[in-house]
A and B are shown apart, each in its own frame.
Chain A
Amino acid sequence: MNVLLQMLPSILMIVSPILIAAVGGLISERSGVANIALEGLMGIGAFMAATTHVLLEQSFPYSIPLALVLATLAGALFSVIHAFASITLRADQIVSGTGINLLSTGITVFLCQIIFKQERTEPFRLGMLPGWGGIYPTAWIALVVLILAWYMLYKRPFGLRLRACGEHPQAAASAGINVERTRYIAVILSGALAGLAGACLVLTQTIQYTVYTINGAGFIALAAVSFGRWLPKGVLGSSLLFGTSVALAIYMVNIPSLRFLPSEFFSVMPYLITLITLVIFSGKEYAPRAVGQPYDKGRS
Chain B
Amino acid sequence: MRNTRKATVTDRFLDFITQSEAMVSIVVVLLGFLVGTILVILVGRNPSGMYSAITQVLTGWDLRRGTWNARYIGEWLVMSLPLILCGLSVAFAGRTGLFNIGAEGQYVAGLTAAQFVAIFGPQIPFLHWILAILAALVVGALWGGIVGILKAKYSVSEVVATIMLNYVAYFTSRVLTMMIPGANTYRTPTYPQTARLASPFLEQLTNGSRLNYGLYLALISILFFWIVIGKTRLGFSLRATGLNKEAARYAGINVNASITTAMAISGAFAGLAGAVVALGSFNYGRVLGGLDGYGFDGIAVALVGNSTAWGTALSGLLFGMLKSAQPLMQSRQIPKEITAIIMGLVVVFISLRAGVRMLMEWRMKEQAKKGRVIE
Cβ-defined contact, B101 with A89, below 8 A: no
A114 interfacial by beta-carbon distance below 8 Å = yes
Cβ-defined contact, B154 with A282, below 8 A: yes
Expressed in whole angstroms, the Cα–Cα distance for A279 and B147 within the complex equals 11
Chain B proximity mask over A205-234: 1 for CB below 8 Å, otherwise 0? 000000010011001001100100000000
**Smallest Cβ distance from A219 to chain B, in angstroms?**
5
Expressed in whole angstroms, the Cα–Cα distance for A265 and B171 within the complex equals 8
Cβ-defined contact, A94 with B99, below 8 A: yes
B23 interfacial by beta-carbon distance below 8 Å = no
A138 interfacial by beta-carbon distance below 8 Å = no
Chain A proximity mask over B139-174: 1 for CB below 8 Å, otherwise 0? 000000000001000111101110111111001101
- The B20-55 residues at the A interface (CB cut-off 8 A) are 39, 43
Partner of A34, one of B159, B165, B343, B346: B159
Total contacts A-B at CB 8 Å: 149
Which chain A positions have C-beta within 8 A of B337?
105-107, 109-110, 113
Using known A-B contacts A106-B343, A110-B337, A275-B165, determine if residue A98 contacts B351 with beta carbons closer than 8 Å: no
Cβ-defined contact, B172 with A81, below 8 A: no
Cβ-defined contact, B159 with A278, below 8 A: no
Cβ-defined contact, B348 with A271, below 8 A: no
- The A235-287 residues at the B interface (CB cut-off 8 A) are 262, 264-265, 267-268, 271-272, 274-275, 278-279, 282, 287
Expressed in whole angstroms, the Cα–Cα distance for A126 and B168 within the complex equals 34
Expressed in whole angstroms, the Cα–Cα distance for A113 and B178 within the complex equals 34
A109 to chain B: closest residue by CB: B337
Cβ-defined contact, B168 with A262, below 8 A: no
Which chain A positions have C-beta within 8 A of B172?
264, 268
A190 interfacial by beta-carbon distance below 8 Å = no
Cβ-defined contact, B167 with A216, below 8 A: yes
B303 interfacial by beta-carbon distance below 8 Å = yes
B351 to chain A: closest residue by CB: A91
Which chain A positions have C-beta within 8 A of B154?
278-279, 282
B181 interfacial by beta-carbon distance below 8 Å = no
- The A63-106 residues at the B interface (CB cut-off 8 A) are 81, 85-86, 88-92, 94-96, 98-106
A36 interfacial by beta-carbon distance below 8 Å = yes
Partner of B338, one of A85, A90, A99, A110: A110
Expressed in whole angstroms, the Cα–Cα distance for A105 and B291 within the complex equals 13
Chain A proximity mask over B354-375: 1 for CB below 8 Å, otherwise 0? 1100100000000000000000
Cβ-defined contact, A89 with B358, below 8 A: yes
Which chain A positions have C-beta within 8 A of B56?
none
Q: Could you say which of B163, B303, B351 has the most chain A C-beta atoms within 10 Å of its C-beta?
A: B351
Report the interface size class on chain B: 35 or more
A222 to chain B: closest residue by CB: B163
**Smallest Cβ distance from A121 to chain B, in angstroms?**
14
Which chain A positions have C-beta within 8 A of B344?
99-107
B296 interfacial by beta-carbon distance below 8 Å = yes
Which chain B positions have C-beta within 8 A of A94?
99, 101, 159
Cβ-defined contact, B160 with A102, below 8 A: no
Cβ-defined contact, A95 with B150, below 8 A: no
Q: Could you say which of A34, A114, A212, A275 has the most chain B C-beta atoms within 10 Å of its C-beta?
A: A275
B352 interfacial by beta-carbon distance below 8 Å = yes
B156 to chain A: closest residue by CB: A278
Using known A-B contacts A110-B335, A274-B164, determine if residue A279 contacts B156 with beta carbons closer than 8 Å: yes
Expressed in whole angstroms, the Cα–Cα distance for A272 and B163 within the complex equals 11
Which chain A positions have C-beta within 8 A of B14?
none
B243 interfacial by beta-carbon distance below 8 Å = no
Expressed in whole angstroms, the Cα–Cα distance for A223 and B168 within the complex equals 13
Using known A-B contacts A99-B347, A274-B164, determine if residue A268 contacts B339 with beta carbons closer than 8 Å: no
Using known A-B contacts A103-B348, A106-B341, determine if residue A90 contacts B167 with beta carbons closer than 8 Å: no
Using known A-B contacts A110-B335, A110-B341, determine if residue A98 contacts B164 with beta carbons closer than 8 Å: no
Using known A-B contacts A98-B299, A278-B160, determine if residue A86 contacts B101 with beta carbons closer than 8 Å: no
Using known A-B contacts A89-B352, A278-B156, determine if residue A264 contacts B171 with beta carbons closer than 8 Å: yes
Cβ-defined contact, B340 with A274, below 8 A: no
A269 to chain B: closest residue by CB: B171
Cβ-defined contact, A278 with B341, below 8 A: no
Using known A-B contacts A102-B300, A106-B340, determine if residue A91 contacts B171 with beta carbons closer than 8 Å: no
Q: Could you say which of B154, B159, B348, B352 has the most chain A C-beta atoms within 10 Å of its C-beta?
A: B348
Expressed in whole angstroms, the Cα–Cα distance for A107 and B6 within the complex equals 43
Cβ-defined contact, B150 with A89, below 8 A: no
B340 to chain A: closest residue by CB: A106
B290 interfacial by beta-carbon distance below 8 Å = yes
A81 to chain B: closest residue by CB: B348
Partner of B161, one of A89, A91, A216, A278: A278
- The B44-72 residues at the A interface (CB cut-off 8 A) are none
Cβ-defined contact, A98 with B101, below 8 A: yes
Which chain A positions have C-beta within 8 A of B318?
none
Expressed in whole angstroms, the Cα–Cα distance for A86 and B350 within the complex equals 11
Which chain A positions have C-beta within 8 A of B352?
85, 89, 91
Which chain A positions have C-beta within 8 A of B348?
81, 85, 96, 99-100, 103
A216 to chain B: closest residue by CB: B167
B361 to chain A: closest residue by CB: A298
B175 interfacial by beta-carbon distance below 8 Å = yes
Cβ-defined contact, B338 with A36, below 8 A: no
**Smallest Cβ distance from A89 to chain B, in angstroms?**
4
B257 interfacial by beta-carbon distance below 8 Å = no
Cβ-defined contact, A101 with B338, below 8 A: no
Q: Could you say which of B161, B165, B354 has the most chain A C-beta atoms within 10 Å of its C-beta?
A: B354
B345 interfacial by beta-carbon distance below 8 Å = yes
Taking A92-B351, A271-B168, A278-B157 as known contacts, 16 extra A-B pairs with beta carbons closer than 8 A to each other, sorted by chain A number, are A36-B163, A86-B351, A89-B351, A89-B358, A95-B351, A99-B350, A102-B340, A103-B344, A105-B337, A105-B340, A106-B344, A109-B335, A110-B39, A110-B340, A274-B164, A278-B150
Q: What 6 pairs between A and B have smallest CB-CB spacing?
A: A103-B344, A91-B351, A106-B340, A99-B347, A102-B344, A282-B154
Between A and B, 5 residue pairs with Cβ closer than 8 Å are A89-B358, A94-B101, A99-B300, A274-B160, A279-B154
